[in-house]
Homo-oligomer: A and B are copies of this chain.
Amino acid sequence: MAGSLQLIPLVDFPLVEPGDDLAQLICTSLAYNALDLTPGDILVLAQKIVSKAEDCYALLSEVEPSAAALELASQANKDPRQAELILRESREVLRVRPGVVIVEHRNGYVHANAGIDKSNISIDQQDPRVLLLPHDPDKSAAELRRALGTRTGVTPQIIINDSAGRAWRNGTVGIAIGTAGLNPLFNQVGERDIFGNVLEVTEPAVADELAAAASLVMGQAAEACPVVLVRGAEFPEFDGGSTSLLRERSMDMFR
């Protein structure tokens, strides 16, 4: 971690359509941006482009709201079809207020509206569609990591990020919903600080910190810059995904 950290946006990244090969788009965009992958690089991708490539759209016209969705829609003042999608995408509804439904997403993260997004997708008013989160972002990240390794000879670490609200604090921050190749928690428990005291519990969620940093660079209109290259972090290789970021319900004091 000595030295600078650089976050480089891949500018003019193309709009992503269902079926697109993200590894190929990224390689083309790296070349366009006069960049080569180098060992230690991390690529952070906005969730939206992964969902689009994987065709995670849902047409509201094809959604039949259940009785539970009608009830939720009424409580939350939402379109019943959107409420139905939120329920389908969730394990549990944690809180409901007008305009907001906080759930545990089927992938485990606590997220408003199950991460279902209406912004930055072209809305055909005749038949509006919404964009769901990727089916399995850790798998998406791992596949992209492999594909980029094959194409370029360098295997970058991958983070798929999303903007998320939080308890206690206003505003959204980028969080990691999928990772490949890096340990999302940098476990320093038992190491010593510079005075020789044993660090008691210090487990920075580095994947979330990287996701937040990249989110700054992506800006909010993420389609315009949905991929950020992070250089200089140099985290050790890790074989696994992002599930260690999710606090077990039994350990969570704030549900």
Give residues of chain A (80-123) contacting chain B, Cβ–Cβ below 8 Å: 95, 97, 100, 102, 109-110, 118-123
A25 interface contact, C-beta 8 A: no
Query: Within the oligomer, what is the number of copies of this chain?
Result: 2
Question: Beta-carbon contacts of A222-255 to B below 8 Å, as 1s and 0s?
Answer: 0110000000010000000000111100001111
Residue A184 interfacial (CB < 8 Å): yes
Pair B169/A102 contact, Cβ less than 8 Å: no
Interface of A: prevailing SS: loop
Whether, in the assembled complex, A209 has its beta carbon less than 8 Å from a beta carbon of chain B, the answer is: yes
Q: Check: A19 CB closer than 8 A to any chain B CB.
A: no
A254 touches B208 (CB 8 A): no
**Contacts A166-B167, A173-B204; A216 near B210 (Cβ below 8 A):** yes
Please report the C-alpha to C-alpha distance between residue A152 and residue B166 in the assembled complex, in whole angstroms: 37
Is the beta-carbon distance between A121 and B246 smaller than 8 angstroms?
no
Interfacial residues of chain A within 186-215, with CB under 8 A of chain B in the complex: 186, 188, 191, 193-195, 197, 199-200, 202-206, 208-210, 212-213, 215
Question: Contacts A169-B245, A204-B171, A205-B171 hold; do A120 and B197 have CB atoms under 8 A apart?
Answer: yes
- Is the C-beta of A38 less than 8 angstroms from some C-beta in chain B? no
Residues A163 and B202 in contact, CB atoms below 8 Å apart: yes
Q: Which residue of B lies closest to A99 (CB)?
A: B201
User: Which A residues form the contact surface with B (CB < 8 A)?
Assistant: 1-9, 11, 95, 97, 100, 102, 109-110, 118-123, 163, 166-175, 184-186, 188, 191, 193-195, 197, 199-200, 202-206, 208-210, 212-213, 215-217, 219-221, 223-224, 233, 244-247, 252-255
A-B contact pairs, 12 of them (CB 8 A): A3-B9, A102-B253, A118-B197, A120-B195, A167-B252, A167-B254, A168-B254, A169-B245, A171-B208, A172-B205, A173-B212, A193-B220
